Amino acid sequence: MVTAFRGSFPCGRDLNVIARRSRIYSSTKLFSLVCATMMSGLLPSTIFAQNVVAARPPVSPEAMALHRLVKRPVVKSTTPVDVAESSSGVNSAQGPGAGPRDLGEPGCDLFPAPANIGTNVGLSYFGPPPSTVNQSLVGPVQLLNTGQVDATAGTITIPLYKGKVKSTGKTAWYILTDVSDPGIAAELGLNFSAKMNNITTAARTGNLGPDGNIIFDKGTVNFAPERNIVPGPEGAEFPPKSFTPGEVGDANYSPFVRIANGGGVVYNAPMVAYNVDASQINFPNGNVDYTKVHDEVVAIDPINMTVTLNLINGFSFGRPVWYISMDASIPLAAAIEHNTYAPLMAKLLLGNDDSAGSPIERIFIATNGQEGCDNPQRQGLSADLNDGHRPNNTLGGIPTLALDYSPAWDANLYTWTDDAINKGYRQQLREEFQILTYAQDGLIMGASQTAPFGSAGFSINCPIVQRLD
């Protein structure tokens, strides 16, 4: 069976190279037949690739009518937030930690420079970016379109939902970021992920109520724990000496929910507060009480039903991106990521990347990259634990760059070998196949210098928000 492809179907190239680079697990004969069919114009390449990812019929008109109740007005503006009140910027503190634009230094702020640098004309001469014509071209491109991105603060404000957990009868405040159906994604402004159709036992179940809010069958989160993390010694801060996540889900909690009365569609619906009323989480201008609210929340307004979330720097195929980090399948990752420990996520099938039935895409995380926000080569978990800024992770496929996006990221940790470091090869890696080549060449290993490269055995829920270029 043929699996997902990076962009449109790449016929006309050497078949062995294509098979290797596109992770095709079928025979060359089948691949040739598909190419011939598409080149004759009988089968558009992007349609073929998309259907291969998850051949699932669209939801019925009745189900679509139910999902339309989920739609909320796009958040156009938000009250200015004092981010400094919401977090000290220190990694071990409560809250989201440092923002993506806090220092403006090259190792911690990936926002692209103006296009007119080095020219004799003003920026206005360049006009709109090519992405206004075709989103696959140079951006920026906002991908999660339910709210407004604040490019100065590095935040996004999106709708807040008020649902319920059926097993407890208590209120669940949550957000929506991704969905497994393309029509619903377009209707609601969410990210489309065909791979989410493959999330089975790692998703809880629920139903849409008459108001468009989700009634979850099970799954709760305790937001009371105090997040704490103690780095290792200087220069080897990862792994940390000790760690405690700031919010902990029960055994039935996962951000992914399959809607039983909505055609089996899967939403990414991370919880941001639980078992509290609006007056207890009314922090529209920041200064959030993190014993009641998710650590990535910068501001929350249950009166106007909006929530502002911190954005995180990363890369996808060489391009800088912003995403949010909401959940992780192990406590260590949840503590580092300032997100929720979601035990049910441990049931995700990991290690198979784009094979048939895969629910995940890969995220590549350095353990021992260079450190310092003033260092443009800064990257990795030791850097994160050293200065409190995020590690500049490299993501696999995202919308507009690939067809195999999933917010369920299979963490592939990599460690630079002593030999590579001594030879001066250690650098900031921004592209998946560059990383895979370095692993093939023995310059990087797995989670340690003795571990094989590959899945580290845990996943992170990181919905994509914006491609910066």
| pLDDT tens per residue, range 381-415 | 999 999 999 999 999 999 999 999 999 999 999 99
Nearest to 163 by CA among 204, 202, 208, 205: 208
Position 87, amino acid: S
Taking residue 303's Cβ as centre, other Cβ atoms within 10 Å add up to 11
Calculate the alpha carbon distances from 142 to 131, 214, 269 in Å. Answer: 10, 26, 19
Higher pLDDT, 20 or 122: 122
The owner of tokens 């009988």 is: 42
Rounded mean pLDDT, 250-278: 98
pLDDT for 17: 38
pLDDT for 53: 53
156-183: b (≥16 Cβ within 10 Å) or e: bbbbbbbbbbbeeeeebbbbbbbbbbee
Tell me which DSSP letter residue 283 carries: B
Q: How far apart are CA 75 and CA 73, in angstroms?
A: 6
Which H or E run contains 18?
helix 15-21
Give the bridge partners for 445, in sequence order: 415
Rounded mean pLDDT, 350-375: 95
- 48: helix, strand or coil: helix
Helix (H) and strand (E) counts for the chain? 10, 28
Joined tokens for residue 97? 């930690």
pLDDT 10s digits, 78-117: 555 555 444 444 344 689 989 999 878 999 999 999 889 9
Rounded mean pLDDT, 261-288: 97
pLDDT for 164: 98
Q: What angle do CA 145, 148, 149 make, to 5 degrees?
A: 100
What are the two backbone dihedrals, phi and then psi, of residue 192, each rounded to the nearest 5 degrees? -95, 130
pLDDT for 289: 94
pLDDT for 253: 98
Percentage of residues in the chain with pLDDT exceeding 90? 78
pLDDT for 40: 39
Q: What angle do CA 265, 268, 273 make, to 5 degrees?
A: 130
**Is 4's pLDDT higher than 60?**
no
Q: pLDDT category, 188, cuts 50, 70, 90? A: very high
pLDDT for 2: 35
Contact 325, 296 (CB under 8 A): yes
